[in-house]
């Protein structure tokens, strides 16, 4: 009888230990594969300040492009809710991913999705801004499990140890990289337009060399700049507009491997 009681107790102890082990492992197993909260090919630097809540990171661009107005992307699929906090987060979005996981995106200049919308990974949810308690445009980003802040992990790799200031560590995004052929641009102040015409409205300006994804190309207005002349224009996936092929870092006027629009 004593042996039976011992075996029953040992079995119960083993079951308790196994249950505890599985409980500890659950967060890692349930976590989505999070990606950077900014567009494909962009390079941003990040830092953590002691005054920040939970285990947040602040991101600003470090590839020559402007931070303010840059799209903020969902780092994993889920349901987005919109909020506003005047003295703190400003315009912010919380995405619920399931399994106890959520991500937070603070200080948005504007929202790009409806409250309660279902969003996909890489979908634009807002634009980078400085609303609320903020001293400059940046993305304040958090990953939480059951309401507790977690060390941020991108593509399965931890960003710890966190740097205490910008320009010590950088992250290049692969979020939303589906489609298009990648090329680097050259030059500064390169305008992206709504069509392959010099007079077409400007969508955005590339401040410096930028990794762009070309969906297709077509002939448009002839452009002469920096000693080159070309009438081929590239349609850029992430900027949603056209730029002259002069400023695509490739010797051919018509880019190889890129279809015509």
Above 70 in pLDDT, residue 18? no
My answer on whether 57 and 168 are in the same domain is yes
Residue identified by tokens 């950077």 is 36
Distance CA 59, CA 52 (A): 13
Above 70 in pLDDT, residue 250? yes
Q: How many domains does the chain have?
A: 2
pLDDT, average across residues 142-155: 96
Instruction: Report the b/e string of 22-43 with b at 16+ CB within 10 A.
Output: eeeeeeeeebbebbbbbbbbbb
My answer on whether 146 and 108 are in the same domain is yes
pLDDT, residue 28, reads: 46
Q: How confident is the model at residue 107 (pLDDT cuts 50, 70, 90)?
A: very high
3-class DSSP assignment, residue 17: helix
What is the domain extent for residue 215?
A: 181-247
Among residues 137, 172, 207, which one ends one of the domains?
172
pLDDT, residue 84, reads: 98
Above 80 in pLDDT, residue 115? yes
Among residues 172, 190, 210, which one ends one of the domains?
172
pLDDT tens-digit readout, 71-99: 999 999 999 999 999 999 999 999 999 99
pLDDT, residue 176, reads: 79
My answer on whether 165 and 71 are in the same domain is yes
My answer on whether 162 and 199 are in the same domain is no
Among candidate residues 41, 80, 88, 42, the one with its CA nearest the CA of residue 61 = 42
Is 256 among the domain residues?
A: no
Instruction: Report the b/e string of 103-141 with b at 16+ CB within 10 A.
Output: bbbbbbbebbbeeebebebbbbbbbbbbbbebeebbbbb
Above 60 in pLDDT, residue 24? no
């Amino acid at each position: 009888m004593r042996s039976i009681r011992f075996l029953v107790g040992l079995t119960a102890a083993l079951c308790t230990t196994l249950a505890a082990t599985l409980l500890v492992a659950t967060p890692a197993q349930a976590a989505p594969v999070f990606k950077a909260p900014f567009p494909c090919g962009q390079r941003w630097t990040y830092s953590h300040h002691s005054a920040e809540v939970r285990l947040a990171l602040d991101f600003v661009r470090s590839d020559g492009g402007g931070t303010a107005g840059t799209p903020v992307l969902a780092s994993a699929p889920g349901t987005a809710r919109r909020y506003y906090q005047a003295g703190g987060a400003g315009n912010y979005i919380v995405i619920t991913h399931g399994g106890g996981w959520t991500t937070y995106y603070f200080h948005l200049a504007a929202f790009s999705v409806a409250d309660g919308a279902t969003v996909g990974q890489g979908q634009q949810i807002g634009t980078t801004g400085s609303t609320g308690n903020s001293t400059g445009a940046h993305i304040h980003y958090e990953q939480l499990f059951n309401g507790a802040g977690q060390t941020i992990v991108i593509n399965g790799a931890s960003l710890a140890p966190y740097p205490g200031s910008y320009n010590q560590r950088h992250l290049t995004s692969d979020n939303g990289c589906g489609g298009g052929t990648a090329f680097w641009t050259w030059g500064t102040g390169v305008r992206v337009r709504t069509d392959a015409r010099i007079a077409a409205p400007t969508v955005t300006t590339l401040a410096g060399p930028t990794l762009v994804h070309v969906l297709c190309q077509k002939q448009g207005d002839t452009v002469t700049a920096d000693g080159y002349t070309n009438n081929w224009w590239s349609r850029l996936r992430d900027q949603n507009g056209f730029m002259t092929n002069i400023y695509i870092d490739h010797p051919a006027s018509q880019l190889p491997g890129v279809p015509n629009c």
